Amino acid sequence: MKRTRRVATVVALGLTGTLAGITAASAGGGCHSGVTEGRGTRIEMVDACFTPTTLFAEAGEAITFVNRDDFAHNITANDWGRFDDLGLGDRYSTSFETDGIYAYACSYHPGMSGSIVIGEGASGADVAAQPVTASAVPTSGGDGWVAAGAIGLLVGAAAGAGLARVRRQAGE
């Protein structure tokens, strides 16, 4: 019985740590301290947040996204974006020729979203028809998710095996 309690405690602590990590990684959007705004041409992905959340820029300027996290992100949007993984240090550049509001998100981290306001902005209906020019800078493989997934599987398998062993010993 004492061992069952120990195993249950270890599993509970592991799940709590895992859920805490998922929650932190899922923060995105307003991130950890609220929505941020900035002017310029650079957006960084830090702590599963786009920083700044809203970037103000001028038409034709090259906007560069840089991943500063040691796990993969992507940039998904309507008719533009970088759908392949961006690993640590990877960059993606794009430009917008027409004033408008260009929303985007990381499909891996719910809530990790942002927008780029070009010039005076525009209504959402106007954005869909606006031309976009995008170019990608060569990147690394972005396979960080493989290591994280493998670690999760190993922890889960070890916890399951330990629990099964405890149940066998208890005669269940």
Q: What is the reported pTM? A: 0.57
Q: What is the pLDDT of residue 35?
A: 85
Q: Tell me what pLDDT residue 121 has.
A: 83
Alpha helices by DSSP H, listed for the chain, are 2-25, 124-127, 144-170
Reported as a single tens digit per residue, the pLDDT across 73-131 is: 999 999 899 999 999 999 999 999 999 999 999 999 988 999 999 998 864 444 444 44
Give the per-residue pLDDT at 102.
Answer: 96
Average pLDDT, the chain: 72
- Taking residue 38's Cβ as centre, other Cβ atoms within 10 Å add up to 15
Domain range summary for the chain, segments of one domain joined by +: 2-170
CATH class for the region spanning 2-170:
mainly beta
Degrees to nearest 5, angle at CA 101 with 38 and 77: 100
pLDDT over threshold 50, residue 13: no
